[in-house]
A = this chain, B = another copy of it.
Amino acid sequence: MPKFVVERIEADPSFKTKAYTALKQAITEMDIYGSKEPIRLDERNLSERLGISRTPIREAMVMLEQEGFVKTLPRRGIRVVRKTKREVVEMIQAWAALESMAARLITKHATDAEIASLFGLFQDFGQDHTPQDHLSEYSSANIAFHQALIALSGSQVLTDMTRNLLLHVRGIRQITIGRDNRAERSIVDHLSIIAALRNRDADLAERLARQHTLDLADYVEAHGDLLD
Q: Which A residues are closer than 8 A to B by beta carbons?
A: 11, 14, 16, 55, 58-59, 62-63, 66-67, 74, 87, 90-91, 93-94, 96-98, 100-101, 105, 155-158, 161, 210
Contact = CB atoms under 8 A, between A and B. Distances in A.
Q: Which of A59, A97, A101, A158: most chain B CB closer than 10 A?
A: A97
Contact of A62 (B62, B96, B157): B62
A137 to B, nearest CB: 29
Contacts of A63: 62-63, 66
A220 to B, nearest CB: 13
Given A63-B66, A66-B63, A98 B105 contact: no
Nearest to A159: B90
Q: Which 4 A-B pairs have the closest CB atoms?
A: A97-B101, A90-B157, A97-B97, A90-B155
Contacts of A66: 63, 66-67
A155 B59 contact: no
B94 A157 contact: yes
Majority SS of interface residues in chain A? helix
Contacts of A210: 101
A190 to B, nearest CB: 20
A74 B156 CA distance: 24
Q: Which of A67, A74, A90: most chain B CB closer than 10 A?
A: A90
Contacts of A90: 155-158
B62 A94 contact: no
A161 B163 CA distance: 13
A108 to B, nearest CB: 11
Contacts of A87: 156-157
A67 to B, nearest CB: 8
